[in-house]
Amino acid sequence: MNGAEATWLTEGTRMHMHHGPIDLVIGADGPASARDIAFRAGWARFQTVLPELVAELPVLRTPADPYDPVLPQPASPVGRRMGHAVSRFAGPCFITPMAAVAGSVADEIRDAMLAVAPGLTRLYVNNGGDIALHLTDGQRFRIGMASLGDQSAQMDGVVDLTRADGIRGIATSGRRGRSLSLGIADSVTVLADNAAMADAAATLIANAVDLPDHPAVRRERAEEHDPDSDLAGQMVVVDVGPLSAPQIAGALASGRARADEFVEKGLIRGASLLLQGQVEICGSIAPQKIAAGSPSFRTDEVA
């Protein structure tokens, strides 16, 4: 495994950090002295994250079970974030701490930077589209959202966030993303109090967008695609053929029901669900906050 690397994208305000599967883009606004100390702290913490996670992968790949008091718990700071996030959703649904890994890493680096530089006015840590945010009064983020077709992603929606919205984490999951999925959603984007919670919720909502036993949906065992997957033994979706409008609506309704449940319990603030051109939106992602077009897939443009 190559060592951690860091490169300035915009001197003093925007940095790229990379280590193995972790790929961060970090942007910070505020006094130059605060930015300098924040990026130094973020880089120092980033270099230790991956070794910590690798050391406890067996625990992080263990399905969460809130009713098993002797289940081994993660020990590293990021691992504990992962475990805490998925424990809020654990129950009848299959989920492991790995469902919150990207969001938890983003939260960890954001908090490491803020701990030494509380004077930052804006900060984002974007881990492949799962984003941890920080805003002060009078500041805002405009976050681009994209729909991903068979060939390419197209930016077609924007969410405006202020500190008053209380949203500090955004994450996206689905079968067109980086990870395997149990459901057929092209993508599900979730807004929550932190990125770890958003990450876990997006995974479960995307899994709920489904048409069980439908002939247009092809599934294979997860380990056939990734021998190290935490979904080993689960049937993941590998292809979805064309669906009728009622079929799409039915699958989205299943995911919407789960998203509504999470909103009602206060676990997330809102969600956007996309399947073959149809969109369902619930919670704090209000239609008037989104530019024309289908709001979904990658939250990878922050301004």
Number of domains making up the chain? 1
Q: Where is pLDDT greater, at 104 or 228?
A: 104
pLDDT at 294 over 60: no
The CATH number assigned to the domain holding 272 equals 3.10.520.10
DSSP 8-state class, residue 86 = H
Phi-psi region of 298 (alpha: psi -120 to 50; beta: other; left: phi over 0): beta
Rounded to whole angstroms, how far apart are CA atoms 168 and 198?
Answer: 9
pLDDT value of position 91? 74
- Supply the mean pLDDT for the chain: 86
pLDDT value of position 150? 45
Rounded to whole angstroms, how far apart are CA atoms 106 and 46?
Answer: 10
- The number of CA neighbours under 13 Å toward the Cβ of 3 is 5
296 touches 144 (CB < 8 A): no
Rounded to whole angstroms, how far apart are CA atoms 155 and 117?
Answer: 32
Here the tokens at position 144 are 């681009």
Q: Where is pLDDT greater, at 141 or 153?
A: 141
pLDDT at 8 over 70: yes
Tell me the helix, strand and coil percentages in the chain, rounded to 5: 35, 30, 40
Question: At 82, is the secondary structure helix, strand, or coil?
Answer: helix
Q: Where is pLDDT greater, at 149 or 158?
A: 158
pLDDT at 290 over 60: no
Nearest to 102 by CA among 18, 23, 177: 23
* Dihedral (Cα; 19, 22, 25, 30), 10-degree rounding: -80
Q: Where is pLDDT greater, at 119 or 152?
A: 119
pLDDT at 16 over 70: yes
Question: Residue 302: pLDDT band by 50, 70, 90 thresholds?
Answer: low
97 touches 74 (CB < 8 A): yes
pLDDT value of position 293? 41
139 touches 121 (CB < 8 A): yes
pLDDT at 130 over 80: yes
Domain containing residue 177: 5-302
Radius of gyration (Cα) for the chain, nearest Å?
19
pLDDT value of position 232? 63
pLDDT at 85 over 80: yes
Q: Where is pLDDT greater, at 147 or 271?
A: 271
Q: Where is pLDDT greater, at 43 or 64?
A: 43
